[in-house]
Every structure is written in structure tokens, then in C-alpha cells.
A = this chain, B = another copy of it.
């Protein structure tokens, strides 16, 4: 009976860990709120950092304060980086500035840059259209993009959004928006991912791969 009592008490109790100091408790709480982490992994990380104070906690602290002080958002494309006026991609003269790739977030921009397959400029939307979350076209900051297109004489807009419902709705909206203004807008292809086996693909992907065969 005692066992069950302890089990249930532990299961329902609040996460106030009174046996450790408030400093450690606060740090664990803050780390557990980061994306992908929970109280258990946060405790593990905090113990690792305290045990390796000189080689883990101190360099991390320095590195975080440098990022906190120096990193800002590029006023042109919305990328985040350390720069003076505009980010390294916008100021790179070797990149084509008549080609703009529209991405949802900075992590998507980084993913495309890792492949080195695109040598134009970017426009980070910072969100997608979503009727559930009440996000309309105003979140996409398309006016800024239109202004860039008119100033630089853009030849093509590449819409690189996720193949989710929100992603595809936004893709459709943006392509329609630019079609009305007679600017060419294309999207990424849908099909079998490289390394993917036919047998394990979902119906939607197979259908898209058949439709866009060539």
C-alpha cells in the first residue's frame, strides 16, 4: 500500500524539488522549456554541465553571451546572423540577386544552404497561413518581397515550403499572389525522397511522384 501511495504521490505532485538549491532548480526548469527537452533530459544536461564546469559550462556560457550580444535579424531577408548592416548572404556579391527563395524559417534557410544547391537570395516568411491559429496573409510580409522584386528586377521566386497543409496553402497563396503581378513563381518538386523505397512510401507521395513523372 505504501508503494502505491508513494507512486501516486510522485505521479501527481508538482515539480518543486525542494532538496536542491533554487539556482540549480531554476536552471533545470529553464532548460526543460527548450524545444525537444523535458525535466529528465534537463536534469541530465545540468549534471553534465556542473560536472564538466571548465570544459562544458564555461565555454557554453561565453558562447551564449556572444550570441546574445551580437546576433540580429537581417532587415532585408530575415536571416539571423552576426553582421553590420545586412547579413552575409544579402551582402554576398557572388550570389544572384534576381533569384529569391521563399522559406518559412531560418532553420529551413540553413537546411538549403547546407546542400549548397542554391546561389540566390532568401526571404524568410517567419510563419505560414493557418486558419486554426488565425494567421492571415499579413504574417508573410509579402509587401517587403514585392518591393525587393520591383527594385532588383527579380527573374524568379522559388517557393520552398514544407509539404504540410499549412505549407501548401501558403505556397498556393504566394504563387497566386505573384501570378497576378506577372512575376514567375515556382515551387519545389514533390516525389520519392532520395534513398526511399517504393514499398514504404505513403499514397500521397506515390501519387505526386506519378503525376510529376518525366
Contact = CB atoms under 8 A, between A and B. Distances in A.
Nearest to A60: B30
A162 interface: no
25 contacts: A6-B117, A17-B114, A19-B89, A19-B110, A20-B113, A21-B71, A21-B88, A23-B63, A23-B70, A23-B71, A24-B80, A24-B82, A27-B66, A27-B67, A30-B60, A34-B56, A36-B45, A37-B45, A43-B110, A46-B67, A47-B106, A50-B80, A58-B68, A61-B64, A64-B64
Copies of this chain, count: 2
Nearest to A65: B61
B6 A47 contact: no
B61 A57 contact: no
Interface residues of A, number: 64
Given A24-B67, A71-B21, A107 B43 contact: yes
Interface in A21-59: 21-24, 26-27, 30-31, 33-37, 41, 43-51, 53, 56-59
A210 interface: no
Nearest to A89: B19
B63 A21 contact: no
A59 B65 CA distance: 11
A21 B56 contact: no
A68 B81 CA distance: 27
Interface in A108-158: 110, 113-117
A98 to B, nearest CB: 20
A198 interface: no
A212 interface: no
B115 A17 contact: no
Nearest to A112: B19
Contact of A48 (B24, B35, B81): B35
A27 B63 contact: yes
A4 interface: yes
Contact of A81 (B21, B37, B51, B88): B21
A24 B71 contact: yes
Contacts of A113: 17, 19-20
